Amino acid sequence: MSFVLERLRELLQLFFPETCEVCGKALRYGEHLLCTDCLLDIPQIYLHNKERNPVEKMFAGQVQFERATAFFNYQKHNNYAHLIHKLKYQGRDDIGIWLGEMFGVKLQDSGFLDGIDAIVPIPLHPKRQRKRGYNQSQMIAEGIANITKTPIITDAVIRKIYTNTQTRKNKEERAENVQGIFEVIDNKVLENKHILILDDVITTGATCVSCAETILQNSNVKYVSFASIALAN
Ligand SMILES: [Zn+2]
């Protein structure tokens, strides 16, 4: 950025300060999206490559998979839930990319991505994607790929059935609600690959499991693994 533009940005920031997406405080110069305090306090899970971590435990016995991880703990009334809410309901795809980049660094440093050939973001139903304007999981995938260069596959699996929100459903109802909603439309691109299925929030894992089952049953994929920005508990 040129000197003049940079000074102009500083001036604008003075009169119209950007605020932290988590706590709402005015950001200081050099801060981006989150203030330094909130950035340092992200309730990270630090579980990449730790065997039998809580995410892996959740998927165990539900479907065959290689490994699973998540970036931070999600609690409905915690301020960090704002990040997910803005990403999903307020058109803030930039937050998805930013979270993906943060997560990408962790995934890369921990070796979690070693051997993983491509990311498949959980597809949205076309109707929902049109309404939202983007697929939030794909935004996260793009952020990860900015760091790791992992290819993203968005045209092999579709969501063919529109489902209502899972939020008020229990574990059994969630699993039933998402059964058979995905379809593999291009087997070739998945063939012999280790695929990372990526979601925004994992609660019971039902959506990821359903997507994985469809991929495992209808393609010659080698392995599937799971990752999510947030683990709800
Ligand atoms: Zn803050």
Indicate the residue type of 25.
K
Assess whether 91 and 172 both reside in one domain.
yes
Assess whether 89 and 145 both reside in one domain.
yes
Average pLDDT over residues 38-46: 91
Total domains in the fold of the chain: 2
* Domain limits for position 162: 43-232
Q: What is the mean pLDDT of the chain?
A: 92
What phi, psi does 159 have (nearest 5°)?
Answer: -100, 110
pLDDT tens per residue, range 17-31: 789 999 999 999 899
pLDDT tens per residue, range 161-207: 998 777 777 888 888 889 899 999 999 999 999 999 999 999 999 99
Token reading at 30: 């050099």
Give the Å distance between the CA of 43 and the centre of ligand 1: 13
Q: Which residues keep their CB under 5 angstroms from ion ligand 1?
A: 20, 22-23, 35, 38
Assess whether 31 and 51 both reside in one domain.
no
Give the Å distance between the CA of 27 and the centre of ligand 1: 8
Given a contact cutoff of 8 angstroms between Cβ atoms, the answer to whether 100 and 139 are in contact is yes
Give the Å distance between the CA of 35 and the centre of ligand 1: 4
Assess whether 49 and 30 both reside in one domain.
no
Entry pTM: 0.91
Assess whether 34 and 145 both reside in one domain.
no
Assess whether 174 and 76 both reside in one domain.
yes
Long-range residue pairs from 4-13, CB within 8 A, at least 24 positions apart, any chain: none
pLDDT at 117: 98
Assess whether 116 and 52 both reside in one domain.
yes
**Over 177-229, what HEC string results?**
HHCCCEEECCCHHHCCCEEEEEEEEECCCHHHHHHHHHHHHHCCCCEEEEEEE
Give the Å distance between the CA of 26 and the centre of ligand 1: 8
Give the model's confidence band at 213: pLDDT under 50 very low, under 70 low, under 90 confident, else very high. Answer: very high
Assess whether 156 and 196 both reside in one domain.
yes
Give the model's confidence band at 1: pLDDT under 50 very low, under 70 low, under 90 confident, else very high. Answer: low
Given a contact cutoff of 8 angstroms between Cβ atoms, the answer to whether 110 and 136 are in contact is no
Find the helix or strand (DSSP H, E) in which 138 lies: helix 136-148
Assess whether 222 and 130 both reside in one domain.
yes
Give the Å distance between the CA of 73 and the centre of ligand 1: 17
The residues, ordered by sequence, that sit 6+ positions from 144 with a Cβ below 8 Å of its Cβ are: 100, 101, 103, 104, 107, 119, 150, 198
What phi, psi does 62 have (nearest 5°)?
Answer: -90, -35
Burial readout 16-31 (b: 16 or more C-beta within 10 A, e: otherwise): eeeebbbeeeebeeeb
